[in-house]
Chain A
Amino acid sequence: MKSEHLHPLSIVIFIGRVIKQLYIVLGLLLWDVIAKNHVNPWIYLGIVLLIIGWGIVRYICFTFAFDENGLTINSGLFIRRHDHIPFSRIQTTQHKQWFFLQPFGIESLLIQTAGHEDKKSQTELPAVSIKISNLIDQLYQNKEKTDSDLPIANQSDQANQIPDNYATSTQDLSKYALTSFTIFPVLGVLMTLYSQLDQFLPKRFLKPFETILNHLRLNDWLIVVTGLLLLGAVSSYLLILQRYYHFVLIKKNNKLTTVRGLFQRQTLGSSLKKLQAVIIEQNILRQWFHLATIKAVVASEAGSKDHDDDNFIITPVISAKDVPNHLHHFFNWIPASFPELDHLPKVCDWYFVRNAVCLSLIPVALSIYFWHQWGSVSLLLLPISISLGIYKGRNTALALLSDNQSLLLQSGYCWTKKTTILQRKNIQSLVCRQTIWMTGRHLTHLCVNVRQGDGNQEVQIRYLSDAKALAVYHWYLQKPDSKNQ
C-alpha cells in the first residue's frame, strides 16, 4: 500500500475550510475595512499568507492509501491521526462534485460507517480524481459481493447486472417543490438575515431603509409582506429544484445509488442489505395530490436526523398508487401490493384530540394570563390542536406484510403521514407501554426501535388494542424458522 496525496486542487478546498472556521474573525476584519478603520496593510497580508499556508500544510499532511480490504487515511500535523476503514464495515458512500470542479475531474468522497463514537464515523477524501474514487467504490462493492456467501445469490447477481434505473422528471419535481413546506424555513432564514444585517453593516447603510420602513402605510405593508412571501416561495421552489435536479435511482449488484443535484452533483450509495427501513412520507398537501416521498433509513451519518438535507431520499416524488410496485421493484422483500391496513377504531381519535388539547392549554393559559384580551388570540391553537389530534388518530395504522417477516407502521405527525416498512431482522428491540388507565380500556402503545444515523429511532403506534400489540410482540419473538427465504 503506497500512500498518496490528494489532488493539488484540494489546497483550495482546505483554504476554503480554514476561512469557514475563522469566519467570525474574518467578518470582524471585513467590518473594519468597511468602517474605514485604518489598520496596517501588512497585517492583512500576514493573515492572507497564514490562511494559505495553513491550507497547504493540511494538504501536505493528508495522505491516503487503499487495497482490496480497506482504506487508510493519515492526517494532522501536531496530532497525527490514522483512520482505517475495512470495506466490509462501510454503510454508505457519498460522492460530491461541485460544478466548478467538473472540468478537472475531481470530486470529494465521503465514507460512512455505523460507528457511533464521538461523531467520527465519517471519513472524507476532500478532493480525489474520479478515477480513484470510483476505484475505491468498486473495491468496496467487490468486497460486499464476496461476503455474500450464497452461490445462488451470485446467480441472481448475474441477473441483476442490468441496472434498474428510475429517473424523476422535471415536471414531477415541480409538483414536489410546489407541495413542499420549505417556504417556512426559507422565510425564517430571510428574517434572521435581515435581523443580522444591522450587526454587520454600519448604520449609514441601513438608515435610508429604516426611514422608508417607518413611513410605510398599511397598503404598502401588504405589498411588502406579499413580496416577501413570493420571494420565499420562489426561492424555496428553486432550492428544491436544484437539489433534486436530474434525480436518478439505480439498482445494480444489490446496491442502491441515487444521483442528484445541479450545482453540486451528489451520489449516495448503500448496499441493499444494509438499509434498515423504508419510509414513505406524505404531507397533507401531497396527500391531496396523491404524491409520496420515499426515504431509506441507513445506519450511518448520511441518515441522521440533524442532516435533513442529506437524508437518503430514494425517490423525491412518485404517484402514491405506484408506491408498492416501485418499492417491490427495488426491494425484493417488499410485496408488490400492500395488505389492508389495520386502522384504529374511531373512538381512539378522542385520545389523540384530548392529548393535543391538553398540551395546547398550557400556552393558551399562559398567554391569557399575561396579555389578557390579546392573549385570547392564542385560543386559535385549540381548533388547530383538535385537527392535529384527529389527523393523528385517522392516520395511525399497522399491518404485517404477506411474507410474515416485515411490518408496516403508519402514523401521522404535524399533518404529515409517515409509513415505515421494515424487516423483523432490523427491529433492534420492541417495547409495549401502557398506563394503568389504559389497561381498563385494553389499549397499548407499541414502540419499535430502529437504528437510524448514529442513534435510535423509535417508531410509535399509540393506542393500539392490547390483542394486536401482543400479536406483534409475539410475532417479533417467534423463532426465525424461515431463515432461508
Chain B
Amino acid sequence: MNATQQLPKKIQITWFVHACANLILSLIILAAIYLAGHAWHWPIWFVYIITTAIALGTISELVSIPYRYRFWQYRITEDAVEMQSGFIFRKRIAIPISRVQNVTLSAGPLLQWQKMQKVAVATASSTHTIDGLDNAKAEKLRDQIMALALGALDHEI
C-alpha cells in the first residue's frame, strides 16, 4: 500500500484528445478573430501573434504528455496522501489523512469514455486532485481514504 503509484497509462489518451479539442476550439476562436479583424481593419500582426501562441501552446501540450505521465505519482500511506507532479514545474503535496474532510469522484465525458474518474481530496481549506484513475481503483481509493479518515482522530476545525 505504501508504494508509489502512477496514473493509468490510458490517461495519456484522454490528455491527447483533450489537447486536440483545445486546438479545435482555439482554431474556431482564431477564425472569428480573423473575420472580425477583416471587418474592422485590425492590424494583421495581431492575428500572427495569436496563431503562433496557439501553435506553441498545442505543440507544448502534445509534447509534454509523456513527461506529464512519467512524473505524475501518488502514494497513500497509513496516515497521509502524497502527490507529486510536473517536470519543469514540480509540485509535491502532503495531506495527512486526519485533515481530509471529503473525497469527491467525478468524470467528464472523456474520462467516462475511458472508464476513469478524477479524485479530489478536500481538506477544510484546500482541494487537491488526482487527474484520473480507473473506476474500480478510484472507488477503492476513496473508501480507503475515508476509512482511514474515520479511524483517525476526530479532527475539528
Interface positions of B from 79 to 121, Cβ below 8 Å from A:
79-80, 82, 87-96, 98-99
Which one of B80, B93, B125 lies within 8 Å of A456 (CB-CB)? B125
In the assembled complex, A101 has its CB within 8 A of some CB on chain B: no
Residues on A with beta carbons closer than 8 Å to the beta carbon of B126: 428-429, 449, 456, 458
In the assembled complex, A476 has its CB within 8 A of some CB on chain B: yes
Q: How many B residues, CB 8 Å from partner? A: 24
Residues on A with beta carbons closer than 8 Å to the beta carbon of B156: 274
Q: Which stretch from A1-9, A159-167, A432-440 is at the chain B interface?
A: A432-440
B92 adjacent to A432 (CB under 8 Å): yes
Min C-beta distance of A20 to chain B, whole Å:
32
Residues on A with beta carbons closer than 8 Å to the beta carbon of B155: 425
How many contacts between A and B, using CB within 8 angstroms? 78
Measured CB to CB, the nearest residue on chain A to B79 is A479
In the assembled complex, A405 has its CB within 8 A of some CB on chain B: no
In the assembled complex, A30 has its CB within 8 A of some CB on chain B: no
Q: Mark B48-91, 1 if CB is under 8 A from A, else 0.
A: 00000000000000000000000000000001101000011111
A477 adjacent to B96 (CB under 8 Å): yes
A480 to B90, CA, bound (A): 28
> Which secondary structure dominates where chain B touches chain A?
mixed
Asked, given contacts A451-B124, A457-B125, whether A431 binds B92 with beta carbons under 8 Å apart, the answer is yes
A429 adjacent to B90 (CB under 8 Å): no
A433 adjacent to B91 (CB under 8 Å): yes
Q: How many A residues, CB 8 Å from partner? A: 31
Asked, given contacts A449-B123, A449-B125, A452-B125, whether A428 binds B99 with beta carbons under 8 Å apart, the answer is yes
In the assembled complex, B1 has its CB within 8 A of some CB on chain A: no
Interface positions of A from 436 to 485, Cβ below 8 Å from B:
436, 439, 449-452, 455-458, 473, 476-477, 479-480, 483
20 A-B pairs (CB sep. < 8 Å): A91-B157, A299-B157, A425-B155, A428-B124, A429-B125, A433-B89, A433-B92, A434-B89, A434-B92, A435-B88, A435-B90, A439-B90, A449-B126, A450-B125, A451-B125, A456-B125, A477-B79, A477-B94, A479-B79, A480-B153
Residues of B near any A CB (own CB < 8 A):
79-80, 82, 87-96, 98-99, 123-126, 128, 153, 155-157
